[in-house]
Amino acid sequence: MQMEKKILFFSLLLLFYAALNAQKSGNPVFTGWYADPEATVFGDKYWIYPTFSAPYNQQVFMDAFSSPDLVNWTKHSHIIDTVQVKWAKKAMWAPAIVEKDGKYYLFFAANDIQNNGNHGGIGIGIAERPQGPFRDYLGKPLIDQFHNGAQPIDQFVFKDIDKQYYMFYGGWKHCNVSKLNSDFTGFIPFDDGTIFKEITPEGYVEGSVMFIRNGKYYFMWSEGGWTGPDYRVAYAIADSPLGPFERIGIVLQQDGRIANGAGHNSVINVPGTDEWYMVYHRRPLTEKDGNSRMTCIDKMEFDPDGKILPVVMTNEGVDVRPLDKAGSFSGRMNTSQKYIQLFNGENLDGWYTFLKGKGKNSDPDKVFTVKNGNILISGEEFGCITTDEEFENYKLTVEFKWGERTFAPRADRARDSGILLHSVGEDGASGGTWMHSIESQIIEGGTGDIIIVGDGTDNFSATTNVKPGVLEGAYFYDPEGEVKTFVRGRIDWHSRDPQWEDKKGFRGADDVEKPLGQWNRIECYATGSNLLIYLNGKLVNRIYNVKPQKGKIQIQSEGAEIFIRKVDLQRL
């Protein structure tokens, strides 16, 4: 009898999960005419903030919708309206929302201004909860003028990995980007002094969206007329949030069997996974009114080269995708912390030292110290600091600058250090100093080189596209070059000076590294078998088919004084 009860229990449990997995969201995902959906994740819920799709004079409020699983949605009515925002009179459109320091900031457009003599533009609401209620943050529009021909509508707020917030916006076939200041009350000028930089890609009309995947910036927008059948979504990929954005193609468009007018999208990435969804509006085939738009969700997938595959519109929608309390996919998420400060600014907790001839955690001469919030590596002895943990699938950001001092045997040679990635095996296995690893080189004139610090076998190897250098055995990274696999040796960054000399202070004609004493930023994107190296925002080197794909991280002491103020890791 006891066994029969257990069998019955597990049979019911299996039926429950089968029913759960069979459950679909359906499209639209909730009832009512709603357009321009902004989708995001806060805590253990998905959120959608759409435009109420109606004649302009009826668009005087916004609703929001939340779901624990993409299937079951709860409506939160009138989270903001023209009662709270006195200057807004009509046409409250296309919300964008971010959470910062425990507050929720809802960006929106209002009044559909047609020239600089009209009052309206892009405003901000603020609340303590994602469901509001939101009150007027500034008491006036943040942007109330046309700049570079862009109507101030359809804003999208994007937080870059360095925590800088950018706002992309614009109608009337013009798109601007601006840098928001820390409290969202204004803007930070770009280096050339401008506030609004035009980045309009080919075909752009409105509805900008940005996200990062595998170290690349994906920029999406809508084309065509929003009331017509040619409304669609296109995209570009760039190495920077500032572009340039060259149109790749269309990823969403009408389907005569399903719906038309498909566009003005956003995206959801289930945190900690590579699962993506497109959230968008479309018009049923039975409807002729331009405002008859409904919010839908379908899967968004990528090919092996990172290109977005055409999104297939469905009536079924998507499967159940629960979230846990951390905003990650239940049962399938790496629950480790996503953003990690590997250097805490105070000490070397989480690291151990290793010096040639002295071994682990024996540093009597203080080669590795923390001074004024920076790691100071004197360079006086060869060695490294090593993380206690191994990592895989991450973006590593290291900010460094050279000091003045150098030491034998490199006293008169190029200042030298390096970041050793995927470090595995025994400490000191390579030259009695480092682990076998893949090195992102830091050296004057050659920062961005990649070195296979291996054992001569394909256990430590990588493939890339190269062109031969001037010296025998030298190779430069070249995206259009021949394919070559390395088990030892160096792949020079793409514009390394061919006349490079190993002497202190060397600088090449096309160096990306900043002058002595200035801070530099290295970003290493290790995703699966790929490794991309960025120096000061520019892609300088890339390898693929990398072995191994995970390991510890080491930072070298190699004869030159170096200061490090940031070592941050973001799990991808």
Relative to beta strand 339-341, strand 294-300 is unpaired
Distance (Å) of CA 359 to CA 353, 417, 428, 432, 438: 8, 19, 8, 9, 21
Q: Which amino acid is at 324?
A: D
Is residue 46 within 8 Å of 38, Cβ to Cβ? no
From 38, 206, 511, 558, the catalytic residue? 206
**Which of 36, 154, 439, 444 is flagged as catalytic?**
36
> What is the C-alpha to C-alpha distance for residues 157 and 160, in angstroms, rounded to an integer?
10
Interatomic CA distance for residues 436 and 422, integer angstroms = 8
- Please report how many Cα atoms fall inside a 13 Å half-sphere around the Cα of residue 223, on the Cβ side: 18
Strand partners, 465: 483
Separation CA 77–CA 93 (nearest Å): 15
Residue 206 falls in the annotated catalytic set: yes
Residue 365 · residue 355 · CB < 8 Å: no
- Asked about 230 being catalytic, the answer comes back as no
Q: Which residues of 49-77 are buried (b: 16+ CB within 10 A; e: fewer)?
A: bbbbbbeeeebbbbbbbbbbbbbebeebe
Q: 437 to each of 44, 109, 210, 340, 391, how far by Cα in Å?
A: 38, 51, 34, 21, 13
Specify whether the CB–CB gap between 46 and 297 falls below 8 A: no
Please report, as a single letter, which amino acid is at residue 193: G
Tell me if 28 sits within 8 A of 48, measured CB to CB.
no
> Is residue 211 within 8 Å of 269, Cβ to Cβ?
yes
Catalytic positions: 36, 206
